[in-house]
Amino acid sequence: MASPSESAALSKAAYAGPDGAVDAVPPPPGWAWIGQSTPAGGSQGSANGYFGAAYKNTATGEVMVTNRGSRGNLEGLKQDWAGSDAQILRQSPEHVPKAFDDAEDFARQVQMENPESQVNFTGHSLGGAEAQVQAARLDMGSKAITFAAPGVQFAVTNDEAAAAQAHVVNFVVPGDPVPLRGDHIGKVVTLTPSRETRLRNIAAIAVGNLIGGPLGLLLAALSIAATHRLGDYVSALEAAGLGAPAGSTRAGAGGGSRGGGGGRPAARLLDPTMHGPPLTPGSGSPNVLIGGKPAWRGLPAAAAAALQSAQAASDATIKTAEQTTRVAQAAAAAQAGSPTGPAAAAAATAAYAAEQAAKTAAAAALGSMMSAMKGAAMTPNGGVPDTHICPIPTPLPPHGPGMVIDGSQTVLVNGLPLCRQFDTVLEALGGPDKIAVGEFTVLIGG
């Protein structure tokens, strides 16, 4: 199959649209344009905003269908952002974007026109969501590589999702909020952000802290969210050594299973998390620096187990409230325009308000619990478990405070577990987050 870097280049080519896909953005070497979903001539794509193009590898015969992501022009705002993207945000089987059907139709057309070729799929953002759906619905062993895509299991059947599980790879870069939404079709591979991306995010946090208040938090979050750009994914692929031609093997992608017996990089204050924001405010160890940064310390095992239990109960309550909201909203949509419509709409509004109230109460309760645990876990030499504050919204309130629950049990700093890359930060509302990056010159076991 096309390498990740080739797939990223083809994903970029799709953004040229119907009038430019042929030559405005050249495909990677060895790939030739063979068709597109919408003829040239000024059209933005299908009536639902979908646009895809097909490219063929001149050496292997493989065909890649690349799907365009969300556009920033007026048509894109109407068809993508207010259309497909808004429906993806809802994650409801009753509100599947019609553009997904257009993507499926184009994929079937390409397969029919190229019966001797393996047809695979790719795309960035919305285009990656469409690639997931194509691979699942066609169910012919087709593969897909996506970048910065939201999860869209809601758009396919359970059987389709299961059949495609081994054939779809979704690349994610910490800091990008889009892939946090929904369950992905296939596996998720988290790439370590490039050095440039990490420095930009750290600078954004610094500027946000300097400005302070809600405005500072918003500016920092928006800057980190810029990690969604395809260019940041290309940089991360290059840093991971995943720019090799198809068929070669290069190691380096940071997945959740990485680490092994040699230990994992030590975590420190300001190291990034999978949700994006770096570990802060901490404050980190006052007397143990790793690579010039204070070491990050987790909860003792017993306290971690208690926090997990409380968070699981809280999460169950929230999921019940979210389901109640979805049912009420579906009923309101079904009854719109009927005599019972106003009452159904009022019930949906009340359900959503109750959901937000449940989240606010859960965040407060777990936050208080973590504060109490912080004091109880203080060691005789002054060691205190570090607290991370995640500003990512749910949409409201934000994920809130979190503590590491699976730090090293054999390497202690100030009498507390030293944390490592891929250790879990259990957040009040965000659930399990992961430490994305640590100090690669200091590996910690246990």
CA distance 135 to 157: 12
Amino acid 396: pLDDT: 67
Closest to 125 measured CA to CA, from 144, 145, 103, 149 = 149
In DSSP terms, which residues pair with 425 in a beta bridge? 404, 433
pLDDT digits (tens, 9 = 90+) for 44-81: 667 889 999 999 999 999 999 999 999 888 888 888 88
Band of the pLDDT at 244, cuts 50, 70, 90? very low
129 vs 430 pLDDT, higher one: 129
Amino acid 443: pLDDT: 86
| Structure letter (DSSP) for residue 81 | I
User: What's the mean pLDDT in 424-430?
Assistant: 89
For residue 381, pLDDT over 80 is answered with: no
Band of the pLDDT at 277, cuts 50, 70, 90? confident
Specify the domain boundaries for CATH 3.40.50.1820 within the chain: 4-240
For residue 308, pLDDT over 90 is answered with: yes
For residue 40, pLDDT over 70 is answered with: no
For residue 168, pLDDT over 90 is answered with: yes
What mean pLDDT, rounded, does the chain reach? 86
Pairing of strands 424-427, 144-147: unpaired
pTM: 0.59
Band of the pLDDT at 186, cuts 50, 70, 90? very high
CA distance 271 to 440: 12
> Could you count the other beta carbons within 10 Å of the beta carbon of residue 138?
18
Closest to 259 measured CA to CA, from 25, 440, 126 = 440
User: What's the mean pLDDT in 240-248?
Assistant: 51
Band of the pLDDT at 201, cuts 50, 70, 90? confident
Spatial contact of 126 and 72, defined as CB atoms under 8 Å apart: no
Find the farthest-apart pair of alpha carbons in the chain and give their distance in angstroms, rounded. Answer: 74
SS3 341: helix
For residue 378, pLDDT over 90 is answered with: no
For residue 92, give every residue at least 6 positions away whose Cβ sits within 8 Å of its Cβ, in sequence order, or none: 154, 326, 330
Q: Work out the angle at residue 269's Cα, subtended by the Cα atoms of residues 268 and 271, and round it to the nearest 5 degrees.
A: 70
User: What's the mean pLDDT in 395-423?
Assistant: 90
For residue 224, pLDDT over 80 is answered with: no
Band of the pLDDT at 254, cuts 50, 70, 90? very low
Q: Which of 78-82, 99-103, 218-222, 334-338 has the lowest mean pLDDT?
A: 218-222
Q: How much helix, strand and coil, in percent to the nearest 5, is found in the chain?
A: 40, 20, 40
Domain 4-240 fold is Rossmann fold (3.40.50)
Amino acid 127: pLDDT: 97
Q: Which of 89-103, 264-278, 291-305, 411-425 has the lowest mean pLDDT?
A: 264-278
Give the range with max mean pLDDT: 15-19, 238-242, 418-422: 418-422
Q: Which of 2-16, 249-263, 335-349, 432-446 has the lowest mean pLDDT?
A: 249-263
Distance of CA 350 to the CA centre of its chain: 30
| Structure letter (DSSP) for residue 435 | B
Give the range with max mean pLDDT: 9-13, 223-227, 429-433: 9-13
Amino acid 260: pLDDT: 36
For residue 127, give every residue at least 6 positions away whose Cβ sits within 8 Å of its Cβ, in sequence order, or none: 11, 14, 52, 66, 67, 68, 69, 146, 149
Distances (CA, A) of 144 to 84, 188, 299: 20, 12, 39
> Could you count the other beta carbons within 10 Å of the beta carbon of residue 211?
14
Band of the pLDDT at 238, cuts 50, 70, 90? confident
> Could you count the other beta carbons within 10 Å of the beta carbon of residue 159?
10
User: What's the mean pLDDT in 140-156?
Assistant: 93
Distances (CA, A) of 290 to 5, 140, 283, 356: 33, 49, 14, 40
Sign of CA dihedral 426, 215, 231, 443: negative
Amino acid 385: pLDDT: 95
